[in-house]
Structure 1
Amino acid sequence: MSSHPQAAPLIQKMRKSSLRIAKARSIFRLKSKLARNCLSEFLGTAMLLFLGLSVSMQFILSNGVISSWFHVNFGWGLALTFSALATYQTSGGHLNPAISLLMVTLEKLPHSHLLPFIIAQLSGAIVGSIGPYYLYQDQFKHFTSLKTLAFPGLAACFTSFPELHVSNGTAFFDQIAGTGVLAFCICLCIDRRNKVPVFLQPLFFGLVLTMIGCSLSLNVGYPLNPARDLGPRLFAAYLYGIEVFSYHDWYFWIPLVAPCIGAIVGGWAYQIFIGIQIDDDHEEYELKVSN
């Protein structure tokens, strides 16, 4: 037993804090696991978009003075790291309909959970898009007072728009390739046979996104995520009109469809070429033989 005079009050305070948390848990904890997971996907995606779009807006609205393109890539990577870390122990930190679809094909997510996950992710993306706009509203007004911009102009703060010389065919393949790399690396990290510590996995997800931004972002940026692209696009359409969707011969559908294809291709490429080729642990092999 501690004889330090301040030890007893400190222990008492810690116990009171634990009781408060336990009481809050009994009141607010959702009974449905699916509801808890969807809440995590909603909040995690909102957090990802709030932080990520703030990074993009800081770059665009300052004319690249405050930050560089590397800062944008690094900032989005950190945003994904901590958003995934916050939700990893509940929903698995998908934050991306394409990744959720991949997990269904890998039988790591029930089919019946896919649509609720997508709705939660898209809703979170919309909510996460609104916050940065109002946070930087004065900067938006100041920027537009200084110059007249051709479309997409400041709509590019929210979502992806290829330049006119980039064809939709190139954009489609670009999103398959980028999301394929993301899914490949995610499967590599979560494969328990690679022994990547669970607490480090969200960090690696963020580093993968930074790597993709530094290497595969020239054509259309790197949305790689239907919710990340569509959620802000819906809010941008409210601000700037239907051209947000019709621009570049209705390009908008590409970041919705191509990432889903890319995630399945990349995730299963890992499984076929690497994952299923790794020997199981000896103990696990013995257990399977004995059964």
Structure 2
Amino acid sequence: MSSSDIFIGETIGTAVLILLGCGVVAGVVLKQSKAFEAGWVAITLGWGFAVLTGAYISAPLSGAHLNPAVTIGLAIEGGVEWSKVPIYFLGQMLGAVIGASLVWLAYLGHFHAHLADREIVGGPGAQDTVAADRQRTTGAGPVLGIFSTGPEIRNVGQNLATEIIATTVLVLAILTQGLNGDGKGLGVIGVMITAFVVVGIGLSLGGPTGYAINPARDLGPRIAHALLPLPNKGGSDWGYAWIPVVGPLIGGAIAGGIYEIAFA
């Protein structure tokens, strides 16, 4: 794979992943969406299909990592040259920002209506709403959850451990499936299995932190949230932002080490 193929494939694939993944969250969260309050199962299924779609699109070009933790795990396992790791990272981050920006564009009117609702953002007579309390205590704005993750109970050790454990499961599941004969990534069945694994992780381990399990998936949209022109959007919770980056990277490295010890 050439460097340009890797960069283009990861940019496009990650953009599609984030567009569909954050898109399902927007549909469930924004009050005037037809999918409003569809629930956690809808979100986990949506993210699974987002992985499936982004991976199928990008696999012929880059092998469809779409996740720095996966790239780290594959580099430790030996399936990726370390010199190409930064190229994967750049494509994944750019794609994540693009995907989040497309969600903003697709739901632009809904964002504005949601963020003008006094029950959501507070205002005269609504200063004690749950959303207002959360923003005051955590720095997370009322639509940040559409873009990036956040914990239900803020505990650094627990939050970090959750992301490490969940990402280890994901990356180990990918590594143990093996690669295509051409070395370009998972086959058709492997991509589908990975999508199911993502759904399973969301249902089983997503409750505490929202299961970032992907540094680009969290950091790219968080940057987009900070930059996009949305009224009353609130803060981007940068105090928490390192956990869904560091945790998945550690998890990817652990999965690569487990694979080398137990399966190689």
Is the TM value for this pair above 0.5? yes
Match of 1:267 in 2: 256
* Structure number with larger C-alpha Rg: 1
Q: Is the 8 Å Cα contact of residues 77 and 206 (structure 1) preserved in structure 2? A: yes
Residue matched to 2:83? 112
Question: Are 2:28 and 1:59 equivalent residues in the alignment?
Answer: yes
Q: Which residue of 160, 170, 179 maps to 2:167?
A: 179
Correspondent of 1:257 among 246, 251, 263? 246
Matches for 1:163-242 after TM superposition, within 5 Å: 163=152, 165-190=153-178, 198-239=187-228
Superposed displacement of residue 61, structure 1: 0.9
SS in 2 for 1:160: coil
Going from structure 1 to structure 2, the CA distance change for 1:65 and 1:237 (only over 3 Å counts) comes to: closer
Deviation at 1:219, TM superposition (A): 1.1
Offset at residue 198 of structure 1 (A) = 2.0
Aligned ranges 1:122-201 → 2 under 5 Å: 122-146=93-117, 147=119, 148=121, 149-150=131-132, 151=135, 152=140, 153-163=142-152, 165-190=153-178, 198-201=187-190
User: Whole-Å Cα distance in 1 between the matches of residues 114 and 199 of structure 2?
Assistant: 28
Distance 2:114 2:23 in 1: 15
Residue 88 of structure 1: SS of its match in structure 2? Answer: helix
Residue 60 of structure 2: SS of its match in structure 1?
Answer: coil
Give the distance between the partners of 2:9 and 2:208, measured in 1 at CA: 32
Give a deviation string over 1:222-259, Cα, whole Å, max 9, x none.
1111111110000111247894144xxx1111111111
Q: How big is the shift at 1:262?
A: 0.4
Task: Name stretches of at least 5 consecutive residues in structure 1 with no aligned partner.
Answer: 1-31, 277-291
Q: Mind listing any 5+ residue stretches in structure 2 that lack a counterpart? A: 122-130, 181-185
Aligned-partner SS, 1:173: helix
Q: Work out whether residues 67 and 217 of structure 2, in 8 Å CA contact, stay in contact via their aligned partners in 1.
A: yes
Cα distance in 2 between the residues matched to 1:190 and 1:88: 14
Query: Higher relative contact order by CA 8 Å / sep ≥ 6: 1 or 2?
Result: 2
* Maintained 8 Å contact 1:237/1:245: no
Deviations 1:155-174 (A, max 9, x none): 111001223x3301111101
User: CA deviation digits over 1:53-99, x for unaligned, max 9?
Assistant: 10010011148745221011011001101211112222110001111
Q: Which moved further from structure 2: 101-110 or 209-218? A: 101-110
The 10-residue stretch of structure 1 (216-225 or 182-191) with the greater mean CA deviation from structure 2: 182-191
- CA–CA separation in structure 2 for the residues paired with 1:47 and 1:172: 27
Q: Distance in 2 between matches of 1:144 and 1:215?
A: 31
**Number of positions where the alignment pairs a residue of Structure 1 with one of Structure 2:** 237
2:128 counterpart residue number: none
The TM-score with structure 2 as length reference comes to: 0.83
Per the alignment, residue 46 of structure 1 pairs with: 15
Residue type at the aligned position of 1:260: L
Higher helix share: 1
2:173 maps to a residue whose letter is: C
- Aligned-residue CA RMSD (Å): 2.2
Give the one of 244, 252, 261 matched to 2:236: 244
CA contact (8 A) 2:6 2:87 kept: no
Preserved CA contact (<8 Å) 1:45 1:128: yes
